[in-house]
Structure 1
């Protein structure tokens, strides 16, 4: 039997209640020429996630792995030896892809041999109408919800988001791996974000180029609690922590006075009603706090072959 054209990867943890909707959407995917493979790693779930996955084994080209030790990047690295085909596609356990998603990604890879990294459209799937204070003019939905809406064309690492990302398989066969010191690991809700971005940035520095394919579309399911201010502020801290840990110090704000000013302003805003101004100030305060925490964290390198 011939090798499939591509392999799709994602890790999941304690999603038995929600993952059936995602897997059901995957059963509606059009297969690219040559077929495809799906590898899902159960990352130490304590619920019925594994049983749910097994229930779809007859409906999807599915390989199920287990990585008991929490860590999304650890789970993805464990799965990479299962890679077959010429393209590795990465996504999340809360997406609803269009039927031609894989066909479009593979066509983009075949039509653009100059690129090694590929991204596609990510549109939020809202559970309810957005409140007036939650606006893209205040905070970037790309950071909050991985929204990415742009035309097709050459792109940089920052244009490719984790729910809709593909990399040529040969890079992983040469030894490329995700850095396991960033991203969710089940131990700290204020973890440093940016695991996919960290990898893509390293690849770009090594000379690899990107292509964005707008026709490769999926929707990112937004949970109700992700529209609450508390969750948004935690996300701001994690985003700042990822920036502080992964990027050079000179690219981050060093002005201690600015942090103090935002801290005072944010404390005052807690007493005010919800508004775009309140969110803007409190969000910036948490981002600055996360960036400072990330810069103080021990640096953990990971050698990635070119």
Structure 2
């Protein structure tokens, strides 16, 4: 088996270093060739120098072989699309530049490919990389818990299953795709996705939805695990509100819904959450409904700007 790990990065050389270090620490499966491809998207920091230095010392350090390319057009979708014609191997594994992989990550990808030979896409778990400095509310499971968390999390249990049309939709942070899928599904939407480190997204969800529409088989494999770096800024209320708004906005835009205008139920939700914010009697409850209100505002914006 031969697979390529694809990383798109923008001005995060320190985090990229940690990501690559975690990949090189991971156990390597027998009879499997693994390579790395990094797309440096409009980078103005030391990323280019760092990648050249990696290549220079990779062999003597026993690191995985790496190629990289610069994509000057800002936007993750442009970086992903730049990579598609350069990909080699039968499978492509996506790793974000602010993730670290589990020590069994490489082995479990190979295991999944052998266990589910009919699959054309896999997704695994993404867990917050908690270090004990986070506030208590991020672990709250009560009625006013914040969801989704400001740090990405994709965890649907400890058993593998085929994800059907009504199942969860993974993002691209821990996605593994057969290379020939791109010839059937096409490229990533440049109308969606982040530019730099803003809070947009949706290019990966849009791709997965199009793949499922065309009959590609997606399997959830919980043993394939990545951990998302926890930026303390993400645990502030302003970030929670911005992220909730942007996530809902791009999620609505990515839906395969040809209707126009804003559905009536969204206006009802907007009014309800607004009243709940005003008459809340505790900070936990107020924070919860503020985040919900931001999410609905994002849905309204997404509905008004949906691709028809």
Q: Would you say same fold, with TM above 0.5?
A: yes
Q: Which runs of structure 2 are paired with 1:11-50 in the superposition (5 Å)? A: 11-32=8-29, 33-50=31-48
Other-structure match for 1:102? 106
Change (3 A) 1:159 1:289: closer
Other-structure match for 2:234? 226
Which segments of 5 or more consecutive residues in structure 2 lack a partner in the other structure?
none
Other-structure match for 2:153? 146
Pick from 101, 118, 123 the counterpart of residue 119 of structure 1: 123
- Asked whether the equivalents of residues 125 and 153 of structure 2 are also in contact (C-alpha less than 8 Å), the reply is no
Shift of 1:184: 0.1
Other-structure match for 1:304? none
Pick from 83, 89, 107 the counterpart of residue 93 of structure 2: 89
Other-structure match for 1:299? 307
More off after superposition, 248-257 vs 20-29: 248-257
Other-structure match for 2:269? 258
Other-structure match for 2:78? 74
Change (3 A) 1:173 1:128: same
The answer to whether residue 301 in structure 2 is matched with residue 287 in structure 1 is no
Change (3 A) 1:267 1:19: farther
Change (3 A) 1:268 1:121: same
Q: Which runs of structure 2 are paired with 1:188-199 in the superposition (5 Å)? A: 189-191=198-200, 193-199=201-207
TM-score, normalised via structure 1 length: 0.86
Other-structure match for 2:52? 54
Shift of 1:268: 6.6
The answer to whether residue 188 in structure 2 is matched with residue 178 in structure 1 is yes
Which segments of 5 or more consecutive residues in structure 1 lack a partner in the other structure?
301-306
The answer to whether residue 224 in structure 2 is matched with residue 216 in structure 1 is yes
- The alignment's C-alpha RMSD in Å is 2.6
- Asked whether the equivalents of residues 76 and 194 of structure 2 are also in contact (C-alpha less than 8 Å), the reply is yes
Number of aligned residue pairs: 292
More off after superposition, 158-167 vs 78-87: 158-167
More off after superposition, 166-175 vs 129-138: 129-138
TM-score, normalised via structure 2 length: 0.85
Change (3 A) 1:68 1:267: farther
Counterpart CA distance in 2 for 1:51 and 1:264 is 53
Shift of 1:292: 0.9
Change (3 A) 1:250 1:148: farther
Counterpart CA distance in 2 for 1:76 and 1:285 is 32
